[in-house]
Amino acid sequence: MSDAPQDPSGPAGSGPGPMLGRHVDRSEYGTLDLFEVPAPVRVTFRTDELEALCPAIDGIQPDIYSAEISYTARTHAFESKSLKLWLVTFRDRRIFAEHLVIEIHDVLAAHSPAVGDVSVRLTQNVRGGIETVVEHPVA
């Protein structure tokens, strides 16, 4: 699975095209689609469906998160279906929340200058009576 984004406005033959409106093969999960915006807009995605595997536990112990991802779409925006399918790829990864928040941020922020001012906030479901909230970048 590639973390490289798929920009549908990119060169011909750069991929199967935008995910929106078509069946997406599991092998395409991890690809991010972008589309042009006529003017800069602030975008916020919220989901309760982000999962990863706890790296401190043997076996299958999912960490379940609420995620809020915000950014400024300067010239392009992330297509939400591709973003959701990219986030699904973390389900099989063993990763701490503190690493996950940075990885999500860095992959999205790498699309600068098309997007900017990326911020990510993850709230892990309560475990052991403790709620964990991680944010990147730190103000």
Q: Residue 131 is inside which H or E element, if any?
A: strand 130-136
Active-site annotation holder among 25, 63, 92, 106:
63
Give alpha helix (H) positions in 21-134. Answer: 80-88, 97-109
- In the block, tokens 């609420």 appear at 66
SS3 at position 137: coil
> Is 63 known to be catalytic?
yes
Active-site annotation holder among 54, 58, 106, 117:
54
> Is 54 known to be catalytic?
yes
Q: For the chain, where are the E strands, in sequence order?
A: 34-36, 41-53, 62-73, 76-78, 115-127, 130-136
SS3 at position 1: coil
Enumerate the active-site residues.
54, 63
